[in-house]
Every structure is written in C-alpha cells, then in structure tokens.
C-alpha cells in the first residue's frame, strides 16, 4: 500500500503537533484515505472483503500507532528542551552582589544579644511610647524629682486613660519595671531599644539606642555586677586587657550607683579600649551606668525587697558602636547616607557569633 508507506514516512518526519494533526486528518479524518478505503468494503463481495478488510484495518492501526508514537516522542523532546532551558543549579552558592548592608547599630545590638545570651540573659522589650509612671515614678523618680528635668523628655499633649502623662521613653529602664511585673523573680534580662531625648549635637541625637541589663535574684551584690560587666566588655571589645574602673555615682533607681569607665590608650590619635587608663598615654572613658537596684524599685516591680535584690546597668548602643568601630559623628548614624552605610555597614550574612568572633567585618 503505497499511501501507507508515504503516510508513515511523513509522520516520522513531522516536527510539530500541527503537522501531526494534519497528517491524521489526511489519513483518518472523514475525508481521509483510510476512511475512503473503509467505505469501499461495503461494495465488496464477501471473499474480497475477507482479503481487503484486515489489510485496511491493519493500515488504520499502523497509522494510529505511528501518530501516537511520533506525538509522544515530540512531547518528550519538548520537555527535555524545557528542562535544559529552565534548569537551576541548586549547588551554586548564593551569588553576590548582595545589595545593602547591616547598620552598625543593628550589628552591635546583635553582638550584645549574642554575648548576653551566652551568659544566660533573655531579651526583653517594652514600648517606646511610655507613661511617666513606668519611665519615672516606678524608677524612684516622683513627679517633683529633679532627675526628671535632666532627661529632656518629649511629652505627648494628652494623658492616657489612667491619667498618666504619655512620653517617648527617655531610657530603657522602664523595661526593668515591666519585666518584673510581668515575669516576677528571679530574672536575667537585657533590653535593647530606641530611646528619645530632646538633645542634638555631634554626640547626641534626639533618638538613640540603649541596652538595659537587669538581674534579680537572692543575695546579689556588686561583685556580681562587676564580673558581669567585665566579662561583657571583654567579649564585646574582643580583648582580655579591658580594665574597668567603678566610680561612685547617683541614679535614683540604684543604690549604690556606679559609673563604669574603661581604660584606653591613644593610638594614632584614636582612643583604643584596653589597658590601664592610668598608664602614660592612657585615659579613662565612661561607658556604663549601673548599680544595685533601689529597694523602692524592686517594690514598684511587685517584688519583696527583703527577699529579692539585683543589679542593673544601662549603656548607649550607638556609643559602643562608635568606640568599637572608630566612628566619630553620631549624626551620620541616622542620615541614611548609602556611602556611609557602604563604608561602615556589615555584610548581611556576617552574623555575629561568639565562636566566630562577634565583631568580624567582611
Ligand atoms: N537609665 C540610665 C540612663 O539612661 C542608665 C542606668 C541604667 C543606670 C540602669 C543605672 C542602672 O542614664
């Protein structure tokens, strides 16, 4: 059957679904040659039909099978082509260029959290919009207390439902009160976050960052505080020769209170933390406020001061960042200048860990 050979050859040569479809119509369609042959069977004698019938049916089967096979192989080839074109190599490393960087304040906060987590401290938070009870009164600063005036507070015009003045928190210390009230004792927390004071020059911005530390337990004393701060500052500055000097000071919420200095030496005109500040060419620089928590504050936190004692400390995160990474103008921190961020920012994948070095810079 010449037509069968031609059709099979054409099917084998077809390269598109459309071509296959028109070959199917030409052979098996109503007007197709196979259909035409099938129609001739009716006019045949029984003997003729016995011979021609199986041949025509076999031809129809052969064409159908060839069409199906060709269609399948074209589809397989198309799939292969797509798989090759759309292939993704999952073994490739995440490729640079990475855009953007981690702000030094975020980086230093992450470093601090890492260091204190290793000492068993959990992270606590509180609202930036505070009331004057949490920000002042509960911290042993009643309404007439002169320390309130020193905080250059941003007040809101309206009071809250309880009649308390609302303000932007001036320090992270209200988180002490909130955490004591919410969690009771014992406690070991740090509270990093934004704070606000109406103040602005090269070393003061209206918004800046503090980190608060709070430990509440039984029989806590200044030795625990000093050891904790020394351990933290050595880990943060990544040197063993950090020397602390505790100076008596005053905070309403701690008694006794200390200001903590670290020794530095001048290297190429820059203050580099480490060594005895009294050594020639050295000096002391204040980095922290701290103290044993005032009994009135423990009581405001809902705890019995005869049973629970504790220490607290607070420090400026931005200041720590400036010291560690040798930056000299705080205002640049909040300008959002991409060139500054490119220079001082940290690579997004450079997550601080104690084992890897908390301050490694890419
Ligand atoms: N809240 C104080 C400040 O902002 C810092 C501080 C915290 C001092 C905890 C002592 C204890 O200056």
CB atoms within 10 A of CB 293: 27
Q: What is the DSSP letter of 354?
A: T
Alpha-carbon gap, residue 148 to 139, rounded angstroms? 11
Non-local (6+) Cβ contacts of 223 within 8 A are none
Here the tokens at position 84 are: 């090759």
C-alpha closest to that of 179 among 139, 225, 119, 141: 139
User: Which residues face 191 on adjacent strands?
Assistant: 212
Q: Is 176 in the pocket of ligand 1 (CB under 6 A)?
A: no
Non-local (6+) Cβ contacts of 63 within 8 A are 4, 7, 8, 11, 24, 27, 28, 34
pTM of the model: 0.73
Alpha-carbon gap, residue 282 to 280, rounded angstroms? 5
Here the tokens at position 249 are: 């000071």
Q: Is 254 in the pocket of ligand 1 (CB under 6 A)?
A: yes
Q: Is 190 in the pocket of ligand 1 (CB under 6 A)?
A: no
Rounded to 5 degrees, what angle do the CA atoms 263, 269, 273 make?
Answer: 25
**Residue ID of nearest Cα to ligand 1 atom 9:** 313
Reported confidence tier of residue 122, pLDDT bands at 50, 70, 90? very high
Please state the atom number of ligand 1 nearest to the C-alpha of residue 210. Answer: 4
Alpha-carbon gap, residue 122 to 38, rounded angstroms? 86
Tell me which of 152, 173, 256, 260 to substitute to probe ligand 1's pocket, judged by most ligand atoms within 8 Å of the beta carbon.
173
Residue-level pLDDT at 269 = 84
Alpha-carbon gap, residue 10 to 5, rounded angstroms? 9
Tell me which of 177, 197, 289 to substitute to probe ligand 1's pocket, judged by most ligand atoms within 8 Å of the beta carbon.
289
Q: Is 277 in the pocket of ligand 1 (CB under 6 A)?
A: no
Please state the atom number of ligand 1 nearest to the C-alpha of residue 173. Answer: 1
């401290």: which residue's tokens? Answer: 121
pLDDT higher than 70, residue 258: yes
Distance 339 CA to ligand 1 centre (A): 33
Non-local (6+) Cβ contacts of 53 within 8 A are 41
Q: Where are the domains of the chain?
A: 2-85, 104-344
Please state the atom number of ligand 1 nearest to the C-alpha of residue 257. Answer: 10
CB atoms within 10 A of CB 165: 18
Distance 196 CA to ligand 1 centre (A): 14
Residue-level pLDDT at 96 = 67
Q: What average pLDDT is seen over the chain?
A: 92
pLDDT digit string (tens) for 137-193?
999 999 888 878 878 899 999 999 999 999 999 999 999 999 999 999 999 999 999
pLDDT digit string (tens) for 9-23?
999 999 998 999 999
Distances (CA, A) of 63 to 4, 27, 42, 295: 8, 8, 22, 98
Tell me which of 168, 314, 319 to substitute to probe ligand 1's pocket, judged by most ligand atoms within 8 Å of the beta carbon.
314
Residue-level pLDDT at 21 = 93
Q: Is 251 in the pocket of ligand 1 (CB under 6 A)?
A: yes
pLDDT digit string (tens) for 324-333?
988 888 889 9
User: Prior bond to 133 cis, omega within 30?
Assistant: no
Q: Is 104-344 CATH 3.30.930.10?
A: yes
C-alpha closest to that of 169 among 1, 360, 314, 2: 314
Chain centroid to CA 359: how far? 17
Q: Is 265 in the pocket of ligand 1 (CB under 6 A)?
A: no
Distance 237 CA to ligand 1 centre (A): 21
User: Which residues face 102 on adjacent strands?
Assistant: 346
Across the range 81-92, mean pLDDT stands at 90
Q: Is 314 in the pocket of ligand 1 (CB under 6 A)?
A: yes
String of b and e for 119-139 (b: at least 16 CB within 10 Å)? eebeebebeeebbbbbbbbbb
């589809």: which residue's tokens? Answer: 75
- The pair phi, psi for residue 17, each rounded to 5°, is -60, -35
Q: Is 293 in the pocket of ligand 1 (CB under 6 A)?
A: no
Q: Is 197 in the pocket of ligand 1 (CB under 6 A)?
A: no
Query: Mind spelling out the 3-state secondary structure of 165-185?
Result: EEEECCCCCHHHHHHHHHHCC
Distance 329 CA to ligand 1 centre (A): 23
């Amino acid at each position: 059957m010449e037509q069968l050979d031609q059709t099979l050859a054409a099917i084998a040569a077809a390269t598109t679904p459309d071509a296959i479809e028109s070959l199917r119509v030409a052979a098996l369609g109503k007007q197709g040659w196979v259909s035409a042959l099938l129609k001739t069977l009716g006019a045949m004698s029984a003997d003729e039909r016995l011979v021609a019938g199986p041949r025509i049916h076999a031809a129809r089967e052969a064409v159908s099978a060839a069409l199906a096979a060709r269609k399948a192989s074209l589809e397989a080839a198309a799939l292969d082509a797509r798989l090759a074109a759309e292939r993704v190599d999952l073994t490739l490393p995440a490729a640079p260029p990475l855009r953007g960087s981690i702000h030094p304040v975020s980086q230093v906060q992450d470093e601090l959290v890492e260091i204190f987590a290793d000492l068993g401290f959990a992270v606590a938070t509180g609202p930036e919009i505070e009331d004057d009870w949490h920000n002042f009164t509960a911290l042993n600063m009643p309404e007439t207390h002169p320390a309130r005036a020193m905080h250059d507070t941003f007040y809101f015009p309206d009071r809250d439902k309880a009649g308390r003045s609302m303000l932007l928190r001036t320090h992270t210390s209200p988180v002490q009160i909130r955490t004591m009230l919410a969690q009771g004792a014992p406690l070991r927390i740090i509270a990093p976050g934004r704070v606000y004071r109406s103040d602005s020059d090269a070393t003061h911005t209206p918004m800046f960052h503090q980190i608060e530390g709070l430990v509440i337990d039984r029989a806590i004393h200044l030795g625990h505080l000093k050891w904790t701060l020394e351990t933290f500052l050595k880990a943060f500055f990544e040197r063993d020769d950090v020397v602390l000097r505790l100076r008596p000071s005053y905070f309403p919420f701690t008694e006794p209170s200390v200001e903590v200095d670290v020794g530095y030496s001048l290297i190429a005109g820059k203050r580099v933390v480490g060594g005895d500040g009294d050594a020639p060419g050295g000096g002391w620089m204040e980095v922290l406020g701290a103290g044993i928590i005032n009994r009135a504050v423990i009581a405001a936190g809902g705890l019995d001061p005869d049973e629970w004692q504790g220490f607290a400390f607070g420090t400026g995160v931005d200041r720590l960042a400036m010291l560690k990474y040798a930056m000299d103008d705080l205002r640049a921190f909040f300008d959002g200048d991409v060139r500054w961020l490119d220079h001082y920012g940290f690579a997004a994948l450079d997550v601080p860990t104690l084992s890897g070095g908390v301050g490694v810079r890419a």
